[in-house]
Structure 1
Amino acid sequence: MVICPTWGRWAEVVGRLLRPGGRLYVAEFHPLLNSLGPKPAPGEGPELLLRHDCLGGGGPVHRDATHAYTDGPAVEGATDSYEWTHGTGEVVSALTEAGLTVRRLRESDELPWPRWPQMARTESGWWRLTTPRIPLLHGLLAAR
Structure 2
Amino acid sequence: MEFEPWQITDDYLGGGGHHTYIESGSYTEDSAGQIAHDTVHEWRHDLGEVIGALLRAGLRIAAVEELPTMDWPAFPDLVPCRQGWTLPPEAPRIPLNFAVVATRPD
TM-score range, shorter chain: 0.7 to 0.9
Counterpart residue identity of residue 96, structure 2 = L
Q: How many residues align?
A: 98
Does 2:92 align with 1:132?
A: yes
What is the aligned-residue RMSD (CA, Å)? 2.2
Structure 2 residue identity aligned to 1:108: L
Aligned to 1:4: none
Could you tell me the TM-score, scaled by structure 2's length? 0.75
Query: Counterpart of 2:26 in structure 1: which amino acid?
Result: A
In 2, distance between residues paired with 1:98 and 1:77?
35
Greater helix proportion: 1
- Aligned in 2, Cα 1:56/1:69: closer, same or farther, shift over 3 Å? farther
Alignment pair present for 1:88 and 2:36: no
Structure 1: how far apart are the matches of 2:30 and 2:20? Answer: 20
- Unpaired segments ≥5 residues, structure 1: 1-45
The answer to whether 1:121 aligns with 2:46 is no
CA–CA separation in structure 2 for the residues paired with 1:60 and 1:139: 22
Q: Aligned partner of 1:142: which letter?
A: A
User: Structure 2, unaligned stretches of length 5 or more?
Assistant: none
Q: TM-score, normalised to structure 1's length?
A: 0.58
How do residues 25-36 of structure 1 correspond to structure 2 at under 5 angstroms? none
- Aligned with 1:106: secondary structure? strand
Distance 1:79 1:105, change over 3 A: same
Q: What residue in structure 2 maps to residue 60 of structure 1?
A: 18
Give secondary structure in 1 for the equivalent of 2:69: coil
- Greater relative contact order structure (CA < 8 Å, 6+ sep): 1
TM-superposed deviation, 1:78: 3.7
3-state secondary structure, aligned to 2:99: strand
